[in-house]
Amino acid sequence: MDKETLFKKLAAAVIDGDEDETARLAQEALDTGIDPYDAIMQGCNKGMAEVSDKYEAKEMFVPEILLSADAMYAAIDILRPHLKVDDTVAKPATVIIGVAQGDIHDIGKNLVKMMLDVAGFNIIDVGRDVPVETFVEKAIEHNAKLVAISALMTTSMMNMEPVIEGLKEKHSGAKTIVGGAPISQDFADSIGAAGYGKDAVAAVRVAKKLTEA
Amino acid sequence: MARMTSPERMGAVMMGEKPDRIPVVPFILGYAAQITGVSIGDLYADGDKCFEAMFNSMRLHGYEQTPMYGYASLGPWEFGGEVMFPYGKGHSAPSVTKHPVMSIEDIENLEVPTFEKELPGGFKEADKVAKRCVAMGMPATIQTGSTFTASSVVAETSLFLKWIFKEPKAVHMLLDKVSDMFVNALEYFAETYGPEHCMPFDGGPVEANTILSPKQFKEFAYPYMEKLHKKIKELGMPAVLMHPCADQNMNIPYYVELRKKLNWEGRYFWLFGPETPIQDQIDNFGDHDIICGNVDPPSIQYKSYEDVVRLCKENIEAGKDSPNGFVLAPGCEFPPLAPPIKVMAMMDAAEKYGRYD
Ligand code: B12
């Protein structure tokens, strides 16, 4: 199978949530000497981006997406150990991701995390109901370039600004992106976040922009 | 027209008569703690404190919502898992710390809680609230669902959602067990307080179309909703407070089907999220049921008093003449940290724009 066909099939198997097929294709990529980085970016990543679009269009729903995620990881787990070192010359930026304090809604955070992961970021997931101090401490500990905070409630969104303040004071090298159903660009601007993403695809776009600059 | 009292107002709507003005049910839970000096943790951990906070908030504001107990993550505690009460910084409702179901085997071994001796988990607190309500002539509100949402937190949520495809049989077994718990609850409350004093409260967020497709709703949520509502009908309870939480527009045909299929003379209070236009609710349920408002909760918290009055006015104008009555309400829980003038805004709007005389 040529490269292009394999990438297409890999993307399709991610969309279908077919773990066995993605694992098989990943192995086939390795066996036939296809660059694992290309397989991840043009197969897995493309497939997942389409999944995200289909979710926004209400053609796919969360249960299907979770299966797609498993299928994607089945391939990535096989491909990643074989990534050539020079593919990652510029060491990937580290992102701390978590759900704001007081909030346990983590389905959206998990989708964003996955998209950032497959896009090549180094992800540290600090979970849900995360105290303000933990975001800051983890950012310092891992020398993070980016801190991504999710909030789904009017109460917990109040706990985003203190993280931004804390980072300014103690780890000014990190920028913050925020998201979640009640968050808007206006709100993000008002609390001094560097970026806002309406969905997981936007999250990747914004994260790339902020870390490449 | 002489002013009605709050119970008279609700009574009139229930009987299909016109009250002096539309009732206001602000869907207050955590807010009641905030303004009565009770901690929000205690509100959920102690039914007596819950009753007092809600009763006092009701008296303070003069709205029509009577005390009730419930939260979205009900289920895990009752089935032997653990929940954390909202004592922590920023917490606003109980959350699960240990899901009783982490594997298919756990589903097979899961035992349905009984109500014979000690009541399970949160129902013990709900019972304290119900007892004091009924003693004062107010309805006993009982959370009876939704089965789908409760099941999605009894099991670890992502696993549960994946099992919909991978282990549909096991998912049905879990849904069946969880709905049996709610059946037991309904029977207990009907027997203890008399069905005529009971008001089941059903609904949940996990069947929202931001999570679930209408097809999945039909297969996994609907059958258990029908099972419970049949039970409610059989027991002879007069009304149900129904809250399809968040965006459930694609599920509406199934709620309509439920209504038709049961052919029930009782009444539903429909409380949809802000995503569902009031007119759509009237078109689908207005001929038989009471429509509740759906003012956007974040706006209640963040917008000014004047803006909230305006949003309520729009809601009232859209719903006031629904053939079987309208109740002003937000589209989900009243924001627990909103300032008290936002409740005042709802009350003022009802007085100003919601009068029938
Ligand atoms: C599922 C759900 C639950 C589940 C959560 C399961 C879980 N493990 O996550 C359960 C049942 C447990 C639950 C509980 C509660 N819930 Co709830 N829940 C929801 C619901 C229906 C869906 C959320 C969701 O997962 N959506 C799907 C995902 C994929 O979308 P998303 O999270 O928005 O994420 C996308 C984008 O926003 C973006 N994004 C997300 N995060 C980030 C971060 C960054 C950095 C970026 C760039 C982008 C980004 O990308 C994602 C992918 O596109 C929402 C309704 C809604 N419309 O959001 C209510 C909702 C969030 N819940 C609500 C409430 C009130 C509660 C409870 C307090 C109820 C109660 N009284 O018990 C409790 C909370 C308990 C607690 N301690 O926190 C309210 C919040 C109201 C408010 N605005 O304050 C909502 C909005 C419902 C409503 N209509 O009012 N809930």
Task: Write down all domains in chain B, each with its CATH number in brackets.
Answer: 68-270 (3.20.20.210)
A102 shares contact with chain B (CB less than 8 Å): yes
What distance, in Å, lies between the first and last C-alpha atoms of chain B?
Answer: 7
Whether pLDDT at A104 is above 90: yes
What pLDDT is recorded for position A86? 64
Q: Which fold has domain A94-212?
A: Rossmann fold (3.40.50)
Q: Rounded to an integer, what distance in angstroms lies between the CA atom of residue B321 and that of residue B344?
A: 23
Q: What's the gap in Å between B43 CA and the centre of ligand 1? A: 22
* Angle at CA of residue A199, ends A196 and B91, nearest 5°: 75
A36 shares contact with chain B (CB less than 8 Å): no
Q: What's the gap in Å between A102 CA and the centre of ligand 1? A: 12
pTM value?
Answer: 0.96
pLDDT digits (tens, 9 = 90+) for B56-73: 999 999 999 999 999 999
**In percent, how much of chain B has pLDDT > 90?**
96
Residues constituting chain B: 357
A162 shares contact with chain B (CB less than 8 Å): no
Interface-testing mutation among A15, A56, A65, A66, with chain B (most B C-beta atoms within 10 A): A66
Q: Rounded to an integer, what distance in angstroms lies between the CA atom of residue A135 and that of residue A156?
A: 14
pLDDT digits (tens, 9 = 90+) for B137-186: 999 999 998 999 999 999 999 999 999 999 999 999 999 999 999 999 99
What pLDDT is recorded for position B99? 98
Q: What's the gap in Å between A112 CA and the centre of ligand 1? A: 14
- Nearest-CA residue for ligand 1 atom 20 is B205
Which residues from B are below 8 Å from A153, CB to CB?
92
What pLDDT is recorded for position A1? 86
Q: Which residues line ligand 1 (CB under 6 A)?
A: A 62, 103-109, 111-112, 148-150, 152-155, 177-182, 197, 199-200, 203; B 29, 71-73, 91-93, 95, 149, 153, 157, 205-206, 208, 210-211, 245-247, 273, 297-298, 331-333
Contact predicate B88/B40, CB 8 Å:
no
3-state secondary structure (DSSP) of residue A88: helix
> Which residues have C-beta within 8 Å of that of residue B208, sequence separation ≥ 6?
B244, B245, B246, B247, B248, B273
Q: Please state the atom number of ligand 1 nearest to the C-alpha of residue A157.
A: 84
A158 shares contact with chain B (CB less than 8 Å): yes
Q: Return the domain boundaries, chain A.
A: 3-82, 94-212
What pLDDT is recorded for position B3? 86
Q: Rounded to an integer, what distance in angstroms lies between the CA atom of residue B204 and that of residue B245?
A: 5
Answer yes or no: do B161 and A100 touch at CB < 8 A: no
What distance, in Å, lies between the first and last C-alpha atoms of chain A?
Answer: 38
- Give just the sign of the alpha carbon dihedral A115, A121, A125, A126: negative
Q: Rounded to an integer, what distance in angstroms lies between the CA atom of residue A140 and that of residue A173?
A: 9
Q: Cα dist. B246→A197, B57, B138, B187, B330 in Å?
A: 21, 25, 28, 29, 12
Q: What is the mean pLDDT of residues A40-63?
A: 95
Q: Rounded to an integer, what distance in angstroms lies between the CA atom of residue B191 and that of residue A123?
A: 54
Q: What is the DSSP letter of B221?
A: I
**In percent, how much of chain B has pLDDT > 70?**
99
Residue A112 Cα, gap to closest chain B Cα (Å): 15
Spatial CA neighbour of B66 closest among B190, B182, B199, B245: B199
pLDDT band at B37 (very low <50, low <70, confident <90, very high): very high
- Nearest-CA residue for ligand 1 atom 83 is A153
Q: Rounded to an integer, what distance in angstroms lies between the CA atom of residue B45 and that of residue B83?
A: 10
B216 shares contact with chain A (CB less than 8 Å): yes
Which residues from B are below 8 Å from A102, CB to CB?
88-92
Which residue in the set B89, B210, B213 is minimally distant from A102, CB to CB? Answer: B89
Spatial CA neighbour of B179 closest among B218, B140, B129, B224: B224
B302 shares contact with chain A (CB less than 8 Å): yes
B303 shares contact with chain A (CB less than 8 Å): no
pLDDT band at A154 (very low <50, low <70, confident <90, very high): confident
A199 shares contact with chain B (CB less than 8 Å): no
CB pairs under 8 A between A and B: 69
pLDDT band at B2 (very low <50, low <70, confident <90, very high): low
Q: Rounded to an integer, what distance in angstroms lies between the CA atom of residue B232 and that of residue B271?
A: 18
Residue in chain B nearest A55 by alpha carbon: B210
Amino acid at B286: G
pLDDT band at B213 (very low <50, low <70, confident <90, very high): very high
pLDDT band at A212 (very low <50, low <70, confident <90, very high): confident
Q: What is the DSSP letter of B333?
A: S
Residue B213 Cα, gap to closest chain A Cα (Å): 6
B277 shares contact with chain A (CB less than 8 Å): no
Mean pLDDT across chain B, nearest whole number?
A: 96
pLDDT digits (tens, 9 = 90+) for B251-262: 999 999 999 999
Whether pLDDT at A87 is above 70: no
- Nearest-CA residue for ligand 1 atom 1 is B206
Which residues from B are below 8 Å from A129, CB to CB?
88, 90-91, 95
Rounded to 5 degrees, what are φ and ψ at A109?
-60, -45
Whether pLDDT at A209 is above 90: yes
Which residues from A are below 8 Å from B164, CB to CB?
63
Q: What is the mean pLDDT of residues A147-170?
A: 95
A89-98, B58-67, B245-254, B331-340: the lowest-pLDDT one: A89-98
Spatial CA neighbour of B91 closest among A87, A135, A113, A105: A105
Portion 69-98 of A in contact with B at CB < 8 A: 70
Residue in chain A nearest B246 by alpha carbon: A181
Contact predicate B296/B332, CB 8 Å:
no
pLDDT band at A88 (very low <50, low <70, confident <90, very high): low
pLDDT digits (tens, 9 = 90+) for B260-282: 999 999 999 999 999 999 999 99
Structure tokens at A61: 């729903």
Whether pLDDT at B1 is above 60: no
Which residues from A are below 8 Å from B92, CB to CB?
102, 153, 155-156
Q: What's the gap in Å between A104 CA and the centre of ligand 1? A: 8
Q: Which fold has domain A3-82?
A: 1.10.1240
Which residues from A are below 8 Å from B212, CB to CB?
61-63
pLDDT digits (tens, 9 = 90+) for A175-208: 999 999 989 999 999 999 999 999 999 999 999 9
Residue A28 Cα, gap to closest chain B Cα (Å): 26
Mean pLDDT across chain A, nearest whole number?
A: 94
pLDDT digits (tens, 9 = 90+) for A121-138: 999 999 999 999 999 999
Q: Please state the atom number of ligand 1 nearest to the C-alpha of residue A177.
A: 45
- Give just the sign of the alpha carbon dihedral B60, B62, B67, B73: negative
Residue A96 Cα, gap to closest chain B Cα (Å): 20
Spatial CA neighbour of B216 closest among B246, B179, B250, B243: B250
